[in-house]
Structure 1
Amino acid sequence: MTVIAPPSRPPALSPSRASDFLQCPLLFRLRTVDRVPEPASSAATRGTLVHSVLERLFDAPAGERTPALAQELLPAEWAKLQEADPRVKELFAPGGDAESEGVDNWLDAASRLVSTYFTLEDPNRLQPAERELLLETQLPDGPLLRGIVDRLDVKPDDGAIRVVDYKTGRSPNPRYEGKVLFQLRFYGLVLWRERGTIPKMLQLVYLGDGQILRAEPTAEQLEGAERKIRWVWSEIEKAARTETWEPRPSKLCDWCSHRALCPAFDGTPPPIPEGAVEIRLGIS
């Protein structure tokens, strides 16, 4: 019998896990409740590496945050990432997600993403108040919300808050902007509930094509995000209590690593480990 260890922090709903459920309830279950291991992803790993470089860049004083420094940081952060996550080595092994690309080409692509950042912002003109900031807030009669913001800027003159999130992919087609705006408003809602201030700006920096998506949230929009989050959570509770985590086939299934466990592809999900729903979701 699988023994589920208690979490180090109380269960919470994050923007990515909420998006998982909206995409496919079964995907949410396999990732959040069962925690079925997934192979290393080339795109996700490269994103982690680039995020680390941009975080470390701001350790340097203003005036020294140059493209050359960022490129110098890349090998050291790459070494740290390989040490922290042994799965990374699987990327370039036979059958790995980046086998055909090779390590050198893969790192060159990461280097180009770092270079693109400097075409969008001048880090020497910024002094982030927070980096990799963990945010939490408890919704009354609702879930605990949790997320990590890449960067939080606060204007010294009026205290206006800007939330900045880096994306290493390409900016979305306007038809799909609603999904990313939901993530931004999720962060905006948590900040508002915790600090009593609505962020002035929510900003997504897309390094894949050098675009920036900005939104100035209103109280009405953040209240709408809260209603959507509450609805998502009510659906998660319903699925948990009835044990009906239905698959939701879409084009995104082509990139899913759990197809072998999905009934939509003649697979069978594993039994849910005893106690996993209560421990990992806080739902009894």
Structure 2
Amino acid sequence: MPYQISATKLQSYSRCPYAYYLRYERRLTTSDFFGSAALGTALHQALAMVYRDWHYHEATPDLHWIHRCWEEHSTGLTPGQIEDGRSILERYYEKFILNAPSLRQPLAVEGRIQAFLRVESLEFCITGRYDRIDYLNDGLELIDYKSSRDLKVPESDEMDLQIGLYYLALEQTYQQSLKYLTLLHLRTGEKVRYRATRRHKKQVQAVISDLAVRLRHDETWEPTPGKQCDRCAYSRYCPALSVNPAPLPTTMSATPELQLALGL
């Protein structure tokens, strides 16, 4: 069975192998990880419907179509969230749909992609989610909606890994290269666009190769102290931060989650 890897997992490994080991290999869970907010989920689903279900017989939909998509996916929210979401989508409509010559039909919306990579006789299954994929003249643009109140741009090295991972997956899935990864902040309409290159692909291949060697041959997952330690959920167990770290919980998985696909 292939070893599952995602941008989140690879970024975690790049920050600190020890934290990666505790979270993903030994399945040590903490209360510091939370799911996405209901309003954000509803906004993503409504925008997926806007692009997926529009008939494209006219250049652009009117505002009634936006309201219909929101009504479809805002059930269960509080009245304040419903009003907030409607305002967010109306601003999105004015900036990105109404001012465009036409609504361009995307390649895909709200889905998953995957690719496979074999390193050190270990097969990795690369997975990821996307909000929208658009055709460009010379490649693809992956658009990631952000619904939080503050636009938190990832560190450049973490962003590079995410770009490289999607570069690999889209190349295998659509036989076209990723040209841009765009973060679109729904509340403000701000767009942060990153150009993707083959350098990103090579960088992510190198990190996966390093992980593969450790999975196959290395019994140690040494910590990498840095600025990420201040927000690390596993800092109390870390020997790099304390001479007397807390003992690992006895409820933790007893064996690492290694699922190797060895070449025969």
Pair in the same fold by TM > 0.5: yes
**Structure 1 position 128 matched with structure 2 position 106:** yes
The one-letter amino acid of 2:46's match is V
Count of aligned pairs: 244
TM-score of the two chains, using structure 1 as the length reference: 0.66
- Distance of 2:87 and 2:232 partners within structure 1: 27
RMSD, aligned α-carbons: 3.8
AA aligned to 1:24 is: C
Partner residue of 1:85?
none
CA distance in 2, matches of 1:209, 1:178: 25
Give the secondary-structure state (helix, strand or coil) at the position aligned to 1:27. Answer: helix
1:55 partnered with 2:48: yes
Q: Which of 249, 257, 262 lines up with 1:277 in the alignment?
A: 257
1:153 corresponds to which residue? 134
Equivalent position of 1:31 in the other structure: 23
Could you tell me whether the CA contact under 8 Å between 1:261 and 1:268 is conserved in 2? yes
Structure 1 residues 10 and 259, CA gap change in structure 2 (3 angstroms): same
| Fraction of identical pairs, as percent | 21
* Distance in 1 between residues matched to 2:112 and 2:41, nearest whole Å: 16
Give the number of the structure with larger relative contact order, counting CA–CA contacts within 8 Å between residues 6 or more apart. Answer: 2
| Bigger proportion of residues as helix | 1
Cα distance, 1:125 vs structure 2: 0.9
- Tell me how far 1:14 sits from its aligned partner: 1.2
CA distance in 1, matches of 2:90, 2:158: 27
User: Cα deviation per residue 1:184-233 (whole Å; 9 max; x = unaligned)?
Assistant: 2321232123433223433221335432122343xxx32x2233223222
Structure 2 length-normalised TM: 0.70
Alignment CA distance shift 1:267-1:172 (3 Å): same
In the aligned structure 1, how far is the partner of 2:27 from the partner of 2:209?
A: 21
Q: Tell me if 1:22 matches 2:14.
A: yes
SS in 1 for 2:155: helix
Aligned residue for 1:19, secondary structure, equals: helix
**Structure with larger Rg:** 2
Within 5 A, what are the aligned runs for 1:164-203? 164-169=143-148, 170-171=150-151, 176-203=155-182
Structure 2 unpaired stretches of 5+: none
Q: 1:110 to 1:189 in 2, by over 3 A?
A: same
Mapping for residues 207-218 of structure 1, pairs under 5 Å = 207=186, 209-217=188-196
**Where does residue 212 of structure 2 map in the other structure?**
237
